[in-house]
Amino acid sequence: MFFKSIEKFLSSNDKKILIFLLLIVALLYSFIAIAKHERFETFGWDLAYQEQIIWKWSNFKIAYMPMKDNINSLGDHFTLTWLLLVPLYWINPSPTTLLASQAFVVTFAAFPLYYLGKMLLKSSYLSFAVVIAYLLFVSLQHGVFNDVHSTMFTTIFITSAFLFLEKRNWPAYWLCILGLTFTKEEFGLLAGAIGLVIILRRLSFFHGILTIIFGLSVFFFLTLYLMPFASLTPKFVHSYFGQAGGSVNEVTLKFLQNPNFVIKNLYNNPQKQETLLTYFSSFGFLPLFSPVNLVPILQQITIRFIDSYHPIRWMANNHYSGPSAALLAISTIYGTFSLISFSKKLFPRSSLSLFLAFFIISISILQNILNHGPVNSVFKRQFYERYPWMADNKEVIQRVPAGVSVTSSNNLAPHFSGRDQLYLLPDVFAAEYIAVDLLDGPNKYSPTDFENVSALIEEVKKDPDYKLIYKSGSSYLFKKVGFNNGPWYYSRFYKPQPI
């Protein structure tokens, strides 16, 4: 009787409760993301890079990227969905706008997720349980708090697409597919996997095959023709996948000619095994009860795991998990639906739904604790502490005029974004200012390392073309006073590292 009353209350007030819950989470996630930025825990790769694109587009400029050899951003990653954020930049052109936007988009992807669950599961508390599991998923949290990436913005398109599939609202579905495929070039492949799900579930052969054709066509057109043309390179700049091949054509042939290689790469490394375990255990292994809906998940895992050149893609706790988080939550709904349908003769539906709701919520809380979810940082004193080196860095930033060219260490770069010429050390070129924080820390000096940047700064101190105009603690600011335009620092101190 008590739980029936709760179900009735949730059902009659679910929209208000859902919006309130999502607002609280979105604000919390925005607060954490922006706090990390203020603590210099965001980086040139990738926050400043993405922010530069949107800033330039908001000023009606072509986004040539000094941080990456002045490549046209659309030749690097084809992310047209950044255009949707341009109006926000007309209001507040700041990295914090991007960080908050990402937090809100990822959080409100749970809105269609809830209604998909309610449509299939006929239970408000079970649908809320899936929403909570999605929001507390540690891999998703890491994506939200790991700078800003287009992959995280796919979540809203994915959950909405599946809701519209169930509603047979094809115009809205196709808008979601368009948004997905133009969020990043590789998501045409994900669209194709979704098309296969439509066919296997016999929802619509026409729309399924059309989705497959459209997704694959967009992917191959972008990576084989348009993006190489935009980047002025002979091939897609991200086409090297290590053992899988050095071009899109080679990787495609590897898939077709050696499926055993693909299958083996799904589990041939402890890190990959850990990622798979994290993914499915975080949702109580319920996605496994809906094999058809595993197709898009396997597509996402495969495209990451075959890449032996960038092992960071094998890990669960970064932005690459964004699409998988949405897909796992969706598969949890379908898996739960299958389990209830299979067990309806053994257990009362209401009792089983209640048990599964508690199970999903318990698992999500447990995985957040065991995997040290980043959201837990709000309960730690260190999160709110401010150190002298942070004040020193802020003083450096305030002393650099708006609009001038700057090269900086990776952790300072997002605070200099919103200008035409922004570089990362060891690229100096003819930058008017050099700003660096020499207190060693994780990722502070990518794409090189602390030793190389320290050695470079020692050279800059001797260079008559640059004058030290501010130093406090480990923070340095140099101003260009000479006329040497040579990029000699690049060749001497650059240390390639996979990004």
pLDDT in tens, the chain (499 residues): 566 777 777 778 889 999 999 999 999 999 999 999 999 999 998 899 999 999 999 999 999 999 988 999 999 999 999 999 999 999 999 999 999 999 999 999 999 999 999 999 999 999 999 999 999 999 999 999 999 999 999 999 999 999 999 999 999 999 999 999 999 999 999 999 999 999 999 999 999 999 999 999 999 999 999 999 999 888 899 888 888 888 888 888 888 888 888 888 888 899 999 999 999 999 999 999 999 999 999 999 999 999 988 899 999 999 999 999 999 999 999 999 999 998 877 888 888 989 999 999 999 999 999 999 999 999 999 999 999 999 999 999 999 999 999 999 999 999 998 899 999 998 887 789 999 999 999 999 988 899 999 999 999 999 888 999 999 999 999 999 876 655 445 444 444 444 3
Query: Do 367 and 284 touch, CB atoms closer than 8 A?
Result: no
User: Residue 1's pLDDT is what?
Assistant: 58
- Alpha-carbon gap, residue 354 to 125, rounded angstroms: 8
Strands 64-65, 422-424: pairing is unpaired
In 319-423, where does DSSP find H-type helix? 322-343, 349-370, 388-398
Nearest to 473, CA basis, from 373, 416, 396? 396
Whole-prediction pTM: 0.94
User: Contacts for 483-487 with beta carbons within 8 Å, 24 or more apart?
Assistant: 484/430, 485/429, 485/430, 487/427, 487/428, 487/429
Read off the tokens for 210. Answer: 């059309």
- Tell me the backbone φ, ψ of residue 442, rounded to 5 degrees: -60, 130
- Tell me the backbone φ, ψ of residue 106, rounded to 5 degrees: -65, -40
